Amino acid sequence: MTSKTENRVTTSHWGAFRILTDDNRIVGTEAFAPDPHPSAIPGILPAAVHHASRVARPSIRRGWLQGGERARELRGRDEFVELPWDEALDITAAELQRVIAEHGNGSIFGGSYGWASAGRFHHALGQVHRFLNVSGGYVSSVASYSTAAAQAMVPHVFGMHFLKFMWAWQNAWPTIAQHTQTLVMFGGINPKNSQVSMGGVTHHETDGWFREFARSGMRRINISPQSTDTPAGADWLPVIPGTDTAMMLGIAHALESEDRVDRAFIERCTTGYDRFASYLLGQSDGVAKTPEWAAEICGIDAESIRKLAHTMASTRTLITVAWSVQRAQNGEQPFWMAATLAAMLGQIGLPGGGIGYGYGAIGGVGVSVKRLGGLTFPQGDNPVTDSIPVARIADMLLNPGKPYDFNGERRNYADIRLVYWCGGNPFHHHQDLNRLQQAFRQPETVIVHEPWWTATAKRADIVLPATTPYEREDIGRAMGDSYLFHMPQLIDPLGEARDDYAIFSELARRMGLEQEFTLGRSSEDWLLHLYDEFRQLTRANGIDLPDFEELRRRNWIDLPVRGAEFAQTPFAEFRDNPEAAPLQTPSGRIEIFSETIADFGYDECPGHPCWRAPDEWLGSELATRYPLHLVSPQPGDKLHSQMESAIADQPGARPGAIEINPVDASARELGDGDLVTVFNERGACRARAHISDDIRPGVVSLPTGAWFDPDSEGTDTQGNPNVLTRDLGTSRIGQGSSAHTTLVEITRL
């Protein structure tokens, strides 16, 4: 690269922005002019890219090199030895070949979480999975920490994959603005979260649409423990965390007992309502799920629940459920119960009515855009069929061979000898990090590609320095976005960093698999190949794209695929004629009662949506010891833990701020800004008190994103809430993350 000043646009998961470089350094960023509400996240990027925590050279942990019985126990507390690339690659390839020869490919876990880069070729998940596939396969993971419970439940109810439902079968913002009269938001719709999306979101629209909703007089109801989970102006019902299903049941009972159910829709378009109604009315278990019953559980008074039911039945109502609601024990239930409630109202299939999931969780949901595929680096086929629910990695590493249940199947955890992690920092997003730390000491070898010395890299054996998206060329394109970007290489790789494709190509060559992995193509060859395939796809959709050199010159293109004309009414054909347009469920209808789930024989789910009290919530006995319910939302200043190295350097940024109601702060004699310890039986972390009326009494909120950094006594010094959260599957159906099922106590330092 030259040292001249550059000013070019690139994209990221949080949107497009200009990057200013000078003398081979990133010196600044500027907003992308077409974005109506650009994210502020890129402001910290220059400091993060050039941070001292960058991995400079290939590094191997000294204890792993020396071997011995205690080698694994030193992970996280050992020093690293820097080696030349050739030597480090020789050692890595030899270790992979040893493990495969001695234990088989079923002993390798391929970890990656998909958010490493918005680039379509240099996508860490695709790179590591292709490499492992051509090497003979690996144990994979399914679903995501964000939506695992929903991904398991929605196919049983609606007969389609959750991601298809979320992207293609929901009301778009223009439709909601035109038709919805009452927007009922369980878990809110937070613009903070919608500033990011997989692959990028160029037009940040959520704030703008909510201003439109306010102007139109739409009633907006935020059912969440935090008022800030929805833009200002919404009615706030501060529900107790983990009790959304109980509140929905109270609404449903009011509808049923007052004969406000659309029975014609129930009869034509659903199955199993009678079985559910027996439970709702208390005929099957002796407990009627009245608004008064619900009020005792969820903390919202019975009259408010009843009035809400009346409003929902008398207006065009869209019920939305945030991803956060299902990240709790029995998190499948609110997603199923919300669908049932929408069916009772009979508005599924009407424009602006029915049910929606994940609005505000990421930026692409609700956008009126024609979805295009393509631009995908092929991963190939995995010869190993074994997989785990994504949030069960610590269970797997700690319990090789142990049986577990998942969505009706009885499985056994693999005996993992080698973990290969490329893209992601599980010591940020996994639950009960002390337990995960113990789990990471079980495999014989942990290999990580990483630009920075994250907590995960520090607990690896082999760390190979990877480039950031600004040190390589790529193409950016998101499914829920209309923009296509050429992502130029803006600076030289820092230190001795290499891109993942270069690393895997060298490993493949040493293992005799170079042709299978690369197909004889360089990185530039792959970019040209993927772009040519995409041009053919767009041409078939009536869109002519320029050649790759022209895309390079233009930097970005706004494709003609966004606009109100691309909005559709989800389930309209099904509603009009369920026999001619059936769902892909066993009955062809919305399954309020599922024989499939009932046949699983799981006590926590009898075949219809139900209330099951979590082990940890404000109504449990444990609350006498840990009387505060902790929620751990996404951070607003970054994506997950990305760029945390530079953010943590900012004055007062760490430890992170924990939001607490004045009532709870007064009881603990806390002042705003006081340093505190947050603790429970699983661990402890430091935080800084932020006293606010925007959170319900009895609830505290500590965002994720801090790098796990415990002191000598094991207390995390940065404010990572996942030292406190519970590493328990949502249920045997989804086995997802139950991060929001967490009780804590707080004391002043």
115: Cβ contacts below 8 Å, ≥ 6 apart:
13, 198, 423, 424, 639, 640, 642
- Tell me how far CA of residue 279 lies from CA of 260, 288, 336, 609, 651, in angstroms: 18, 8, 15, 9, 54
- Tell me how far CA of residue 333 lies from CA of 131, 290, 321, 328, in angstroms: 38, 18, 11, 10
355: Cβ contacts below 8 Å, ≥ 6 apart:
318, 319, 320, 321, 338, 339, 341, 342, 348
Angle at 498 between CA 422 and CA 67, to 5 degrees: 60
Q: Is residue 57 packed enough to be buried (19+ CB in 10 Å), middle (13-18) or exposed (0-12)?
A: middle
* CB atoms inside a 10 Å sphere around CB 682: 18
Task: Catalogue the E-assigned strands of 313-461.
Answer: 317-321, 354-357, 387-389, 403-406, 409-412, 418-422, 445-450
Instruction: Report which residue type is found at 85.
Output: W
Angle at 697 between CA 692 and CA 703, to 5 degrees: 60
Contact 236, 227 (CB under 8 A): yes
Give which of 383, 305, 319 is closest to 352, Cα–Cα: 319
Strand partners for 355: 319
Angle at 172 between CA 168 and CA 176, to 5 degrees: 145
702: Cβ contacts below 8 Å, ≥ 6 apart:
630, 631, 632, 656, 657, 658, 659, 678, 685, 687, 719, 721
217: Cβ contacts below 8 Å, ≥ 6 apart:
none
Q: CA Rg, the chain, in Å?
A: 26
- DSSP class of 455: H
- DSSP class of 161: -
Give which of 189, 209, 172, 191 is closest to 354, Cα–Cα: 172
* CB atoms inside a 10 Å sphere around CB 1: 12
Contact 372, 567 (CB under 8 A): no
Q: Say how many Å lie between the first and final Cα of the chain, rounded.
A: 50
* Strand 445-450 to 418-422 pairing: parallel
Contact 720, 707 (CB under 8 A): yes
- Which residues are catalytically annotated? 113, 115
Which of left, alpha, beta for 430 (phi over 0: left; psi -120 to 50: alpha)? beta
Angle at 358 between CA 352 and CA 364, to 5 degrees: 85
The token pair at 68 is 């011995």
* CB atoms inside a 10 Å sphere around CB 75: 20
What span, in angstroms and rounded, lies between the C-alpha atoms of 748 and 671?
A: 9
Residue 695 dihedral angles phi and psi, to the nearest 5°: -125, 145
Omega within 30 of 0 (cis) for the link into 655 = yes
What span, in angstroms and rounded, lies between the C-alpha atoms of 198 and 478?
A: 7
Contact 467, 499 (CB under 8 A): yes
* CB atoms inside a 10 Å sphere around CB 749: 10
Give which of 359, 361, 369, 639 is closest to 479, Cα–Cα: 369
Residue 87 dihedral angles phi and psi, to the nearest 5°: -70, -45
Quick check: helix, strand or coil at residue 442?
coil
